[in-house]
Structure 1
């Protein structure tokens, strides 16, 4: 039998839809790895190429984040109208399975690897269930190497993504990760990860770790970085800003080839940080921390959540000035988004402040709740202006004009963001 693993696209005129550099969905390659060998598998990314609905696949498997849910439902409806069976998993379907079941034949809630073989067996037997829910979390030692060969011919320039850990030990109010995994931080066996990295190195020296917090347990990350030293890798991942306090670990990351980290600064207001549960961030130390990253050859893609209850219209200019003063190599300014399953959604629903459940607008670029310290329009306009200002040629020059090894990544990244923002405005 044949299965098509399908990743839905992003709407045009949105930042993530306009970015030219896209990664394939690693979770689908992970499911492909636990798919029995007698299944013929293929992969398609709707964000890269238009979807052809005339497929001979027996089963269509979708995954989607909330902002992709509308497109996922459109794809599912189109395939089902042609007599195909469609199943769906991922963050959005796991949080809203009843909604998803209005568009698909079956929903997988939670981590899919444990129940996927059973779902396929049921389908072959003509006994597909409406809902499959994993009993607990998979033993990370049992996670097989992702079946990346399904990405061949998908149109992606880069497929070297890997996951070494799942979850995060922290509990930030706005984060979907904890809502999905719980406050559990699980690690794959180091020997498996290092062996997989050796295989990835044969294809490309650049690697992106999709881990939500690759340094949450230094007893794991330190030997990981030491094991990577000498592989000739150039890699990026996610880390908290207080990673800078651990000089030994920071040095090991730099020596292992780390050229960049996505860092959640979230706010310059310490009270706002406390309210959102960002307990490790110390705003007064941000600039010094950023310099520590840079001293070890590691650039920063910073993230600042706009629209927190302590924010006023002044927050945009303050944040921009900080980003330039700290010479952050790149940054995004996501609007606070109350994703299903998160604590912030529960709070804003209780306060009657949710103003939109149009999932396409849950892309961190649109205001979907009533802010407290400014109007909806002020928040939207402030976000748009912050993006344009930060990715102006003048700002790019001021932040990254000095030679630094991370420029090889962040130079193209800045140009890519600038181009996407301009395309977004043209499509508006």
Structure 2
């Protein structure tokens, strides 16, 4: 029997759909790894190719984040019209399984590796259930090595993506990670990760750890970094800003080849940080912390959530000035988005402030709630201005012209973001 894994594309004209650099779906490669050997597997990534609704397969498996959900439902309808069975998993289906079940034959809720073999056995026996819910958390020593051969021929710039930990000890109001993976921080055996890296470096010296907080447990991260030293990798991952306070761990990361971290600054206002649950952030220390990252050869892809209660139209200029003073190598500026399953959605729903449930607009680039401190139009305009200004040639010059090893990654990243932002703007104004 044959499974076709499908990764849906992003809505046309949205930032994440316009970016030229695309990462393959590690989630689908992980499911392929726990698929019994009697099943043939294939991948269709709509960001790289057109979906063939007449593809030879017995089962179609799709995964989606919230803004991809409408397109996922269209893909499911296309396959089901041809008599194919469609199964859906991922963040959106896990948070809204009843909605997803209106469009697909079965839904997987939670970490799919636990129930996927049972689902396949049920399908083969003709007794597929409508809902498969993981009853626990996957033991981290049971996480299989991703079946990356399904990425072959897709033209990805980088296929060395891997996950070493799941869960996050924090519970930020706007984040959907803890709703899916839980707050318990779990790590794969370090020796298993190092063995996987030994295989990966045969293909490419760059790697990206998709962990939401790679350094949450220094007792785990420190031996991992020390084991990576000398492997020759240049790698990126995610870390909180207080990572800068651990000199030994930061030095070990730099020596292991870390050239960049995604860092959630989120706000320059300490009261806003407290409200959103960002308990480790100290806005007054941001400049010094950013310098410490840079001193260890680690660039920063910063994140600033726009539109939190209390933010005003003046906040956009403050963020830009800070980023340039701190010489932040790259940044994203997501509009606060009330994703299903998050605490912020529950709060905004209770306050009657949700203004749109069009999931296509839940791409962090559109206002879907009623802000306080500015109008929705001011928030949208500020977001667009900040993106254009940060990725202007003048700002790129002020932030990136320096002798720093991270520029080899963040230079092309800035050019890619600038091009994608310009294409997105042309789409919004009706340009070609």
The TM-score with structure 1 as length reference comes to 0.99
Distance 2:311 2:179 in 1: 25
Task: Give the match's secondary structure for 1:113.
Answer: helix
Distance 1:109 1:148 in 2: 23
Partner of residue 15, structure 2: 15
Partner of residue 148, structure 1: 148
How far residue 393 of structure 1 moved from its aligned partner, in angstroms, is 0.3
- Between the two proteins, the alignment pairs up a number of residues equal to 428
Matches within 5 A, 1:244-259: 244-259=244-259
Task: Give the match's secondary structure for 1:98.
Answer: helix
Task: Give the match's secondary structure for 1:231.
Answer: coil
Any unmatched runs of 5+ in structure 1? none
How far residue 47 of structure 1 moved from its aligned partner, in angstroms, is 1.5
Partner of residue 3, structure 1: 3
Distance 2:174 2:243 in 1: 21
Matches within 5 A, 1:318-397: 318-397=318-397
How far residue 349 of structure 1 moved from its aligned partner, in angstroms, is 0.1
CA contact (8 A) 1:7 1:64 kept: yes
How far residue 155 of structure 1 moved from its aligned partner, in angstroms, is 2.6
Task: Give the match's secondary structure for 1:324.
Answer: helix
Partner of residue 296, structure 2: 296
How far residue 153 of structure 1 moved from its aligned partner, in angstroms, is 1.2
Structural RMSD (CA) = 0.5
Partner of residue 38, structure 2: 38
Distance 1:66 1:60 in 2: 19
- Cα distance per residue 1:129-156 (max 9 Å; x no partner): 0000011001010111010011101231
Is 1:419 the counterpart of 2:408? The answer is no
How far residue 54 of structure 1 moved from its aligned partner, in angstroms, is 1.2
Distance 2:93 2:184 in 1: 21
Task: Give the match's secondary structure for 1:203.
Answer: coil
Structure 1 moving runs of 4+ over 6 Å: none
Partner of residue 89, structure 2: 89
Distance 2:315 2:68 in 1: 29
Distance 1:312 1:157 in 2: 39
Partner of residue 48, structure 2: 48
Distance 2:165 2:425 in 1: 37
Task: Give the match's secondary structure for 2:272.
Answer: helix
- Cα distance per residue 1:262-295 (max 9 Å; x no partner): 0000000000000000000000000000000000
- Cα distance per residue 1:41-63 (max 9 Å; x no partner): 00111112221111111100000
Distance 1:28 1:191 in 2: 24
Partner of residue 25, structure 1: 25
Distance 1:29 1:321 in 2: 41
Is 1:316 the counterpart of 2:285? The answer is no
Partner of residue 277, structure 1: 277
Partner of residue 218, structure 2: 218
How far residue 385 of structure 1 moved from its aligned partner, in angstroms, is 0.5
- Cα distance per residue 1:391-420 (max 9 Å; x no partner): 000000000011210000000000000000
CA contact (8 A) 1:161 1:207 kept: yes
CA contact (8 A) 1:330 1:410 kept: yes
- Cα distance per residue 1:343-365 (max 9 Å; x no partner): 00000000000000000000000
Task: Give the match's secondary structure for 1:422.
Answer: helix
- Cα distance per residue 1:355-381 (max 9 Å; x no partner): 000000000000000001100000000
Partner of residue 405, structure 2: 405
How far residue 11 of structure 1 moved from its aligned partner, in angstroms, is 1.1
Matches within 5 A, 1:68-107: 68-107=68-107
Distance 1:45 1:317 in 2: 38
Distance 1:392 1:367 in 2: 23
Partner of residue 207, structure 1: 207
Structure 1 range deviating more: 147-156 or 265-274: 147-156
CA contact (8 A) 1:43 1:154 kept: no
Task: Give the match's secondary structure for 1:382.
Answer: helix
The TM-score with structure 2 as length reference comes to 0.99
